Chain A
Amino acid sequence: MAVTKPPKFAKDFWPYFYRVIATVIIASQLIVLVVIAAILYMFDFHETNLLAFGGILVAEAILGTVSSIAIYKLASQPIKDLLAAIVHVSGEPTTTTPPNPNDKRYEQSGFKDVLQTIYQLASKDTDPTTVLSSAPAAPATITDAATLVKPATTALEMALNETSCAFVVMNHERVITFANKAAPLSIDSNGVSSLSLLFNGQETLDAWLLECDKNAVHAERTWSRIPNKLPEEEGRRFFDVVASYDKGAESEVVLTLIDRTNLYEVGEQELDFIAFAAHELRGPITVIRGYLDVLEDELKDVLKDDQHELFHRLTVSANRLSGYINNILNTSRYDRRHLKMHLAETTIAEVYDTIRDDMDLRAQAQSRLLTVTIPADLPTIAGDPASLSEVFGNLIDNAIKYSNEGGSINVTASPKGDMVEVLVEDHGIGMPASVIGNLFQKFYRSHRSRETVAGTGIGLYISKAIVESHGGNISVRSEDGRGSTFSVLLPTFKSVADKLKAGDNSNEGLIEQGAGWIKNHSMYRG
């Protein structure tokens, strides 16, 4: 077959076919001319009437060519259309629009059925609803949209009205030809019903359908969390929308809307609450930290040493408060499965640098001896710098809290197989083995710490969540009265790079390499 042999694509067949036909037309015309000329010549026509002889040859050349082209055009048009349909069905790259079976000329010539057959053959799913909806003769109702959403008559329609899923069917003109009871429709003053769905930004159903009309034969697309009304409106519902497009079919667009209001509404309220709470809490913190920063800078030559110390205490407290707010926000996100890690190639040293100043100040203000030893030649890790700095901040904050004044706290890091281990060691009050099992639970606070040390009980909970989202592990060794050592194991970048690139990492982390993007608190948190 000429289609498959020399050309790579089905669409390449047409130029080839075209060239062959053109050659055949020219060659056949030349032969006809030569034959006519020979016949006339034999009868000595050129001698009796040279002008007529020439005229006949010219007329034949013109008429013959024109009629050949006309016949060729007529005969090859269906082939051309078939080819275009096949090219689109096969998914080859093309700039042409696929032939629309609803085109007038196709309907007249009966070619519509051929196109529909091709399109149907290409669609693997022999969808029973399509067959059903095309069975009753519907053309007469297309003119009046309002009557189209008619009361259920068949058993199937009645059954569809019982479900909370909405089904909406549209024809090529985008007139709704069927909608069940659950469909979110609005009817305008002319009685024309339309879908009421509020899509996000430019990714709307209409935009997608326009795109389909241009470039697709069969297509499917899903949107999630699409409301039918604005936030404050009565009866707001949320849908996951599945749209399928089948060019030229009676039911060209079939929408399945799954009502997820129960699921999304709660999330929506919480999201709003957390978002606004964060905004509210962070506002004053921003001002406090900011003005402390400005004032300390402007007053640095005026303040006495003990006043400097008071300033440090203010700064340390404000920073801690800020850290706790982040813990609360992260916990809320984690519990709603919204906590996402943006993994990038980084080092423990880089992460720690973002909180170094803050930690030094904190240890100093609370009279602890903080020693941090992070070797420069550690392997890089795949980490979310902002989240990891919060983990280290939490662990050091705990070490300060549960140790005594003048106590030493050591932070060290070392490679351990495919992991890098960070240890935070204090020589404080420690804890008995019975406590350790519950330590990483939400709101868990040991009996003793409840009496002596303030805290929310979510610091370790969220730290564990963050470390585990990295594919790492957090653990603790402790001796009652002698102090505790927390260990954080994080996978090296090398060990997870392939997985990250393949995109199958469980925490949906992104890979972000190189500079250019300034990530919050990754570089500027200290």
Chain B
Amino acid sequence: MAIKTILIVEDDRFIGEMYVRSLKKANYDVDWMVDGNDGLIAARNKQYDLILLDVMLPERRGSDILEALRGGAEDLIPHSKVLILTNFEQDDESRMAMEKKADGYLIKAEITPSKLLSVIGQLDQPAL
């Protein structure tokens, strides 16, 4: 399934706009939420192909959002992929916990918009 719709949950305005700008230019359909609560609501209300999730967020942390979506018995977003994008240095345990539930864990400072596009391109190819 080709990735078309993307939800970005990111509280930093500069970074959020940066992703939105380059992803829109690459013809993705992008929604951007600034706080954790809105992010969780958006993820539950609409089916996105991909969710870009920050960890340090106001109202609700990225780890809590992921837990709410994929921590229970039922995966609430079975059709979505999730990429964690964070600059926060998590301890190993919490990082592992998130890695297990996500499709990728990336340090924002290392991922420029063009690299993000290539990562999304990789996600699009079915892993065999």
Contact = CB atoms under 8 A, between A and B. Distances in A.
A274 B88 CA distance: 9
Contacts of A200: 93
A482 interface: no
Contact of A293 (B15, B107, B114): B114
B128 to A, nearest CB: 8
A10 interface: no
Interface in B85-128: 87-93, 97, 99, 103-115, 118-119, 122-123, 127-128
A282 B108 contact: yes
Interface residues of B, number: 36
A517 B106 CA distance: 11
A517 B101 CA distance: 11
A290 B13 CA distance: 13
Contact of A294 (B22, B90, B103, B105): B22
B119 A340 contact: no
A517 B99 CA distance: 9
Given A329-B89, A518-B119, A525 B110 contact: yes
Given A291-B18, A294-B22, A516-B127, A286 B113 contact: no
Contact of A521 (B12, B83, B107): B107
Nearest to B67: A201
A274 B15 CA distance: 21
A275 B91 CA distance: 8
Contacts, number: 92
B110 A287 contact: no
A285 B109 contact: yes
A338 B95 CA distance: 13
Contacts of B105: 518-520
Nearest to B92: A340
A279 B18 contact: no
Interface of A: 200-201, 271, 274-275, 278-279, 282-283, 285-287, 289-294, 297, 322, 325, 329, 338, 340, 515-521, 523-526
14 contacts: A275-B89, A286-B108, A290-B15, A290-B112, A291-B14, A292-B112, A293-B22, A294-B21, A294-B22, A325-B109, A329-B89, A518-B123, A520-B105, A520-B110
Closest 8 A/B residue pairs (Cβ): A282-B87, A293-B112, A518-B104, A282-B109, A278-B89, A275-B89, A524-B115, A286-B108
